[in-house]
Structure 1
């Protein structure tokens, strides 16, 4: 067995460059030595409280230094981290605590009220980071050894397609994904500064922003709550070289750019979490004079599986090529019991295998068996690979709209509508229809500073640019789209809302 701990991502730069600034948050600067010492203090306190190897600890904290202390403290104690989204209420957190089998909930002081409620509802003790994680004896000499295939983090899926499932990510999964992201995606150097707006409880922010930055000994700037205007000022102030975000963040940054005195000089921008419309990508790149490298991944793949990479050259509208050591192919989407790979150019389900693929779902062998077939992880996403190996996402398998017997992929419709001069954001869903089975509905957010689009005129405009079976017959204009904790549009919630009653514009 091979000994490996994700805690090394912080421990190694603390050993090599102890005085290097690892983290900047609200004007405070923390060296690698500072953070690792704090993490060891947390780990020591947990072991003093009876922590044993493999114990699961839930972690509830915003994008602040205490998240880092708690995260690496749990890992250094030999435990397993269960990140909890900070937007959940007490009852929801209690359910995750019970489902995960967590022995305690570590929380930031600002979240003490909801943590206490969750603790009371679940019977799981709540420990405030710092106050309740201060050791009484000498610090551990280092991280408790773990095996490479041991679980390091349990990521609960967002639950937008049903009850959340706990994806088991190993130390090997997460160390290698942080490493390949740092080298092949971000191309990080030790003197780089990464802007951390993504929530650290989410796999994207955790691996691609935090762990990749620490893996290369660079500096991470945290913004506790994303604000586009403030993020621009912070990136300028700290000379940020990298930005990682989801599409809604890039849209907000483009809107905020008009009011900014200066814009940061970013070397690399990475987008993931959802499809970034080409129109939005091009607008950001023109405003910021920076290139966005769009990638793709899931909680079950640590998360990154593919990304546009500089040595290949980015191609808008694609998710690039697989990261080092990862295989991505297209399989027949209609076969559930086996994986039958398709030829280049054919449309099918994206399947993945490699060092990034999870160890299964927590206490759910049936779900694991459905997801892992013939050694491949079935993503549930529909895509294709061209002759040059560029991979494109067509849509979510579960988001597919079948209108009158014709397959309609919402993303294709969204890409077209996003080019309309009055549309800022758009989400397309299928609604039940007694005649055609499903009807296409587009929910749009107007572009700031211009009049809201007229729904009938937008339908007519779309009908000239999309096939007769593809253009929306219903358009709703709203101020905001429902977003999950990771800033992803919640299409299931949007669909349910539309079925229940028309949205108010």
Structure 2
């Protein structure tokens, strides 16, 4: 591994190409954020990172501290991350869509004592900390000084290096609240080096690529892949505020992007626009992503003239077990995500843990090849050793994804075994949503599942049992009240897009929700008279 820390990788590329573009803030993003459009050179970024590093050091922050970042996809996120990383401070990215209950949980669970926030969310963070009974300082990214650290650095006398925690990312699991994935420097460096070393369809040219992504920096794809390959291999990062279907291709064209990042929902939206001769007027060589609809895969490539290269990874695995279809044949239109490389071992197993034959779906189990099966994986779930051990049962990481192996060794994604709803690339824990819905005074019990959505992949459907039944005329008003309650507590995308009023939930003999039956039920509920469509209420804040 060539760099011990993320900051070291950043500094090395900056020293090699100080006058080259590091970041490109394109006009749509600049307007959305109210910041200046244009290029930021590596030396300019170094100056800002160094200034912040000194400010954090003066304030007493050091090895083992954690600091929250609620800065969306702004350049400030990267500056604060790199500055803190140089001191051994782990960053906790905070989704700007989070509401009261989510913020309170994250603050209490992560133990952050400082959050760097957008001005309009600072009071929300303070209120959430008070609700949790936690002490939290909140500063803005532009503040010249950092509030003094409230505690000494827990690992002040240990050297900062590859195993130092770099970030704590929260991911929705199969049960309960989101889990905090502890990710070390080596996790991030490995992601960048793996990406930089791609070949076949996905060659990366040192110091020449311009990577554009609309994906959020609080997720692994943007934080650990697109950002880290630029830090390792040089080039320019074009970090969009989010995906804008109407202006995306123009942004790609005007910024000279050579590699794009996508989620499955994006090709569908772009194909919905009328075809134009200018669709192929761009410099894009290939795209990195996952989840493209099989029906759209070939159609998109033919129209826009570049390959959508499917890959598989998780927050827990990073690049340690990444599989990518960067070699032909890519089996376009089959949900194929390639064949595994030598650095990863995998199995496909049935419910009994027995390996399944070719052509039969099984749960994907992965580990690093060699003497250390957990090399470059996440370090564990914060404050949940039992969940960490369960995920690593029998020495294999259990992904919860159902995958099929074809006769040529190619792997095809089939479905998710675990109870996670994936809406527009966001993983949503059904249990987390249910815990909020059950707090509504009219709700006796609830059960949440995915229902198909033509644009977003999945949509959240909530089956609701009320304390007192309401008439047909009152159902819409009740559904609106329940969703409004959810929107107060959760990010907008987690709120129910459908509310179905039912007499009873499908339960097991031990009174647990029968998830399999619920999933089947959720497929056919939209459109029925007792199922209210509330998708129109789910709007991004601000």
Instruction: Rate the CA distance shift 1:237–1:397 in 2: closer, same or farther, 3 A.
Output: same
1:466 alignment partner in structure 2? none
- Residues 195-217 of structure 1, C-alpha deviation per residue, up to 9 Å, x if partnerless? 12111111111112211222210
Cα-Cα RMSD: 3.5
2:481 alignment partner in structure 1? none
2:197 alignment partner in structure 1? 183
Among 324, 340, 344, the residue aligned to 1:322: 340
- Residues 282-341 of structure 1, C-alpha deviation per residue, up to 9 Å, x if partnerless? 232122111111111111012673343433442222111235622232133334xxxx54
For the residues of structure 2 that align with 1:182 and 1:110, how far apart are their CA atoms? 37
Structural mapping, 1:467-478, within 5 Å: none
For the residues of structure 1 that align with 2:147 and 2:42, how far apart are their CA atoms? 20
User: Does residue 97 of structure 2 align to residue 87 of structure 1?
Assistant: yes
More divergent stretch after superposition (363-372 vs 124-133):
124-133
Helix, strand or coil: the match of 2:247? Answer: helix
User: Does residue 47 of structure 2 align to residue 37 of structure 1?
Assistant: yes
Report the TM-score, using the length of structure 1 for normalisation. Answer: 0.74
Distance apart, 1:373 and its partner CA: 1.7
Helix, strand or coil: the match of 1:207? Answer: helix
8 Å CA contact 2:139–2:147 kept in 1: the answer is: no
User: Does residue 527 of structure 2 align to residue 504 of structure 1?
Assistant: no
1:420 alignment partner in structure 2? none
Structural mapping, 1:17-36, within 5 Å: 17-25=17-25, 26=30, 27-36=37-46
For the residues of structure 1 that align with 2:455 and 2:88, how far apart are their CA atoms? 49
Helix, strand or coil: the match of 2:197? Answer: helix
2:365 alignment partner in structure 1? 351
2:266 alignment partner in structure 1? 249
Instruction: Rate the CA distance shift 1:493–1:446 in 2: closer, same or farther, 3 A.
Output: closer
Instruction: Rate the CA distance shift 1:59–1:228 in 2: closer, same or farther, 3 A.
Output: same
For the residues of structure 2 that align with 1:249 and 1:488, how far apart are their CA atoms? 19
1:422 alignment partner in structure 2? none
Instruction: Rate the CA distance shift 1:260–1:163 in 2: closer, same or farther, 3 A.
Output: farther
User: Does residue 406 of structure 2 align to residue 394 of structure 1?
Assistant: no
1:174 alignment partner in structure 2? 188
Instruction: Rate the CA distance shift 1:257–1:102 in 2: closer, same or farther, 3 A.
Output: farther
1:14 alignment partner in structure 2? 14
Structural mapping, 1:26-425, within 5 Å: 26=30, 27-109=37-119, 111-121=121-131, 122-133=134-145, 146-158=160-172, 161-184=175-198, 186-189=202-205, 190-256=207-273, 258=275, 262=279, 263-272=281-290, 275-302=291-318, 305-316=321-332, 317-322=335-340, 325-335=343-353, 340-354=354-368, 355-398=375-418
Equivalent pairs, count: 419
For the residues of structure 1 that align with 2:493 and 2:121, how far apart are their CA atoms? 25
Helix, strand or coil: the match of 2:380? Answer: coil
- Residues 140-172 of structure 1, C-alpha deviation per residue, up to 9 Å, x if partnerless? xxxx95232222111100357531001111111
8 Å CA contact 1:21–1:30 kept in 2: the answer is: yes
Distance apart, 1:106 and its partner CA: 1.6
Instruction: Rate the CA distance shift 1:114–1:135 in 2: closer, same or farther, 3 A.
Output: closer
- Residues 213-257 of structure 1, C-alpha deviation per residue, up to 9 Å, x if partnerless? 222101111211321222211110011111111111222222246
8 Å CA contact 1:194–1:240 kept in 2: the answer is: yes
Instruction: Rate the CA distance shift 1:393–1:41 in 2: closer, same or farther, 3 A.
Output: same
8 Å CA contact 2:3–2:189 kept in 1: the answer is: no
For the residues of structure 1 that align with 2:130 and 2:277, how far apart are their CA atoms? 46
Instruction: Rate the CA distance shift 1:96–1:243 in 2: closer, same or farther, 3 A.
Output: same
Helix, strand or coil: the match of 1:7? Answer: helix
Distance apart, 1:489 and its partner CA: 8.1
Unaligned runs of 5+ in 1: 137-143, 401-409, 412-428, 430-437, 448-481
Instruction: Rate the CA distance shift 1:442–1:115 in 2: closer, same or farther, 3 A.
Output: closer
8 Å CA contact 1:5–1:148 kept in 2: the answer is: yes
Distance apart, 1:71 and its partner CA: 1.4
For the residues of structure 2 that align with 1:2 and 1:309, how far apart are their CA atoms? 26
Helix, strand or coil: the match of 1:245? Answer: strand
Unaligned runs of 5+ in 2: 31-36, 149-157, 369-374, 423-429, 431-446, 457-485, 503-529, 535-542
Report the TM-score, using the length of structure 2 for normalisation. Answer: 0.69
8 Å CA contact 1:347–1:383 kept in 2: the answer is: yes
For the residues of structure 1 that align with 2:305 and 2:52, how far apart are their CA atoms? 42
Distance apart, 1:112 and its partner CA: 3.6
Helix, strand or coil: the match of 1:333? Answer: coil
